[in-house]
Copies of this chain bind each other. A is one copy, B any other.
């Protein structure tokens, strides 16, 4: 697939996006329910296509962990359909008046949410992202170009075919949902260079994918997901709460970006807390990469700077004792990916200082890092978690999938 082909696909999306931008909420919700119905109606084809992908992956020696992410089941397909119906139930962000006033000269000013236009999604293995992204983009009035991984190509093609026929049956242009074909990196590259044709690119996947999109794209990018998240246990922490939060943040689910990867403990509570947390983490199967204070305990490995900078996504955690709150803040500034950091403390001044000085998408007090999530925040749907500062930061729901424009109404006003 050449760059010319990708631009042709994007231009069809652009043309289709004009109608979608003007569609009413009722039309879009009807399309979302039709998309859900269609996924279930095409269950046999989709699962058969998925079986091809799974067979190919297994034959190629892909790790069971990745194969599991790739695999669809009737339950997982039903979950994708439910997800689309959930999006139909959410408020329409398009048309929301963000700000409005009447100016001194009588001009009426309104800042209104509008779709971006054409959104490109570049993502890895999980085929459920195909339906999720299509649903969120459709509801927010955006045409979407989906570039999934080649390992899921048969699944994605079958899912997109089912979604497109439903979109068309619902009276919208099917080209608002399109797959970017081509297995090679060339089509990803063409998408990243399609400035003017694609309004925003959202990469979802591993750190390598995200870094390459961020560095090579001339299309504006929303960076998602890498989370080297810290839990800092303050001198004024309730140590029972701290223990529960550290265990939950590290072990509740290890492969996600809001899992804790690093533990910092104030020196004043190290003697009381470090033995307890080491024992509890080791009981839960966690390998600790610690500083000298942690290494005093059996089984703790020596941490390097690389450990402190690592998003393990596994049952590993780096750990250090810090002399005070400001040292914890300095450590976080040095090593954090600015996704989520938590402080455990009963001290209001310490909590104010930490939440003000730590510059991450989410800063939590006495709560597990696992709460940084669109679902937990009550957004109803999430396209990803932004770790950049422009446009959207933290979990992105439907409003984050829009831009705005100013509509200004006068009566012959001139300057």
Chain A interfacial positions (CB closer than 8 Å to B): 18, 21-22, 101, 103-104, 107, 109, 111, 114, 116-117, 195, 199-200, 214-215, 218, 220-222, 238, 240-241, 244-245, 247-249, 252, 333, 351, 355-357, 359-368, 370-372, 376-378, 388-391, 393-395, 403-415
How far, in whole Å, are A390 and B200 apart by their CA atoms in the complex?
8
* CB-defined contacts of A376 to chain B, threshold 8 Å: 103, 415
**Quick one: given A363-B408, A371-B408, A405-B359, are A414 and B245 in contact (CB under 8 Å)?**
yes
Q: How many copies does the complex hold?
A: 2
How far, in whole Å, are A366 and B107 apart by their CA atoms in the complex?
10
**Quick one: given A220-B390, A368-B413, A407-B355, are A214 and B199 in contact (CB under 8 Å)?**
no
Contact across chains for B414 and A252 when beta carbons are under 8 A apart: yes
11 A-B pairs within 8 Å (CB atoms) are namely A104-B378, A109-B378, A114-B359, A241-B412, A247-B414, A248-B415, A361-B405, A364-B407, A367-B413, A393-B404, A393-B406
Which residue in chain B gives the minimum CB-CB distance to A364? B408
Contact across chains for B415 and A357 when beta carbons are under 8 A apart: no
Contact across chains for A351 and B409 when beta carbons are under 8 A apart: yes
Which residue in chain B gives the minimum CB-CB distance to A409? B365
* CB-defined contacts of A221 to chain B, threshold 8 Å: 220
* CB-defined contacts of A405 to chain B, threshold 8 Å: 359-363, 393-394
Which residue in chain B gives the minimum CB-CB distance to A223? B220
Which residue in chain B gives the minimum CB-CB distance to A258? B415
Contact across chains for A368 and B415 when beta carbons are under 8 A apart: yes
